[in-house]
Chains A and B, each alone.
Chain A
Amino acid sequence: MNFLFRYANPHEFMRLSGAVLPFTAVATVLCLAVGLYLGFSAPPDYQQGRTVLILFIHVPAATMAMGVYGAIAVCSVLSLVWRHPLSDTAARAAAPLGALFTALGLITGSLWGKPMWGTYWVWDARLTSFLLLLFLYIGYMALWNAVEDEARAARAAAILALVGAVNIPVIKFSVNWWNTLHQGESIVSGQLAPVFLTPLLLMMAGYGLLFLTLWMVRIRTAILERRARNLMQAGTP
């Protein structure tokens, strides 16, 4: 916990993120480039043919969609319980990225579903709970923009984020709890051949690092904007 508060200081965060950013940016490009190369080099799946390529962009996007919401929920707890000074900024900065990953998960999943299931969309538990996640992101961002007082907006958004976090385990376990058209988990259970697993893990790492890089830049931007606002207010008679 001390570690988190040490870097809660915007100056300290700017210093640390400035040092880390070049490495995460380079690692992102490397992971995505090698992941795509191995993905395009992978043989067709015996059942899904070349559509298995969509696996390498759909699963990372869906994983990040849930992971980013988890990060927002953790930031919300830090904000509500411990009044961590940077957590509201961090949570707000993550939301548009999470919404984008969710939309990409839905679009790529839909484009994968048509040739494999014969339909772009079904109202099964996995797809419906994932669509709900997109609405939660949109609601979260709308709430931030709707309330003028920043402290009140942060508190209301944090509460919404925590209530919505109930949806994350529902998405994750929906394929076990209900009879869904969406396939069950296949990474941890070891059902995926190494020729598909390696590029998938690299793409997941690439998406994760891309989020981390963009998240840090967005937090840094928010800190600069706050400094500019403070200067403007100080200059206003």
Chain B
Amino acid sequence: MNFDMGAYSVYIWPALGISALALAGVTLWTLLAWRRAKARLAALEKRSSQS
């Protein structure tokens, strides 16, 4: 693997970095939303079964 980008590094690394950050961010955001929705539904179901 060659990580030497030469004179083009100012374009290549930002492009790679922004893509990696954006894709990791949207993955995290999606998983957190899923966990939040799951926890909320579980709490509501528990409350409705108690009442």
Which of A40, A96, A103, A220 is close to B1, meaning CB atoms less than 8 Å apart? A40
Q: Beyond A108-B15, A111-B14, is A53–B5 a contact (Cβ under 8 Å)?
A: yes
The chain B residue sitting closest to A97, CB to CB, is B26
Q: Which residues of A contact B12 (CB under 8 A)?
A: 50-51, 53-54, 111
Report whether B19 and A228 are in contact in the complex, using a CB–CB cutoff of 8 Å: no
- Could you tell me the distance between the alpha carbons of A91 and B5 in the complex, rounded to whole angstroms? 39
Report whether A228 and B40 are in contact in the complex, using a CB–CB cutoff of 8 Å: yes
Known: A41-B1, A57-B16, A114-B11. 16 other contacts (CB 8 A): A41-B2, A50-B12, A53-B16, A54-B12, A100-B26, A104-B23, A108-B18, A108-B19, A112-B11, A210-B27, A214-B27, A214-B30, A224-B34, A231-B41, A231-B44, A232-B44
Count B interface residues, CB 8 Å.
Answer: 31
What are some 21 contacts across the A-B interface (CB < 8 A)? A37-B1, A50-B5, A53-B5, A54-B11, A58-B15, A61-B19, A100-B26, A104-B19, A104-B22, A104-B23, A108-B15, A111-B12, A217-B34, A220-B34, A224-B38, A225-B37, A225-B40, A228-B40, A231-B41, A235-B44, A235-B48
A-B contact count (CB 8 A): 92
A53 shortest CB reach to chain B, Å: 5
B1-32 with Cβ < 8 A to chain A: 1-6, 8, 11-12, 14-16, 18-19, 22-23, 26-27, 30-31
A85-103 with Cβ < 8 A to chain B: 96-97, 100, 103
Report whether B8 and A49 are in contact in the complex, using a CB–CB cutoff of 8 Å: yes
A180 shortest CB reach to chain B, Å: 21
Q: A234 within 8 Å of B by Cβ?
A: yes
A127 shortest CB reach to chain B, Å: 16
- Could you tell me the distance between the alpha carbons of A111 and B19 in the complex, rounded to whole angstroms? 12
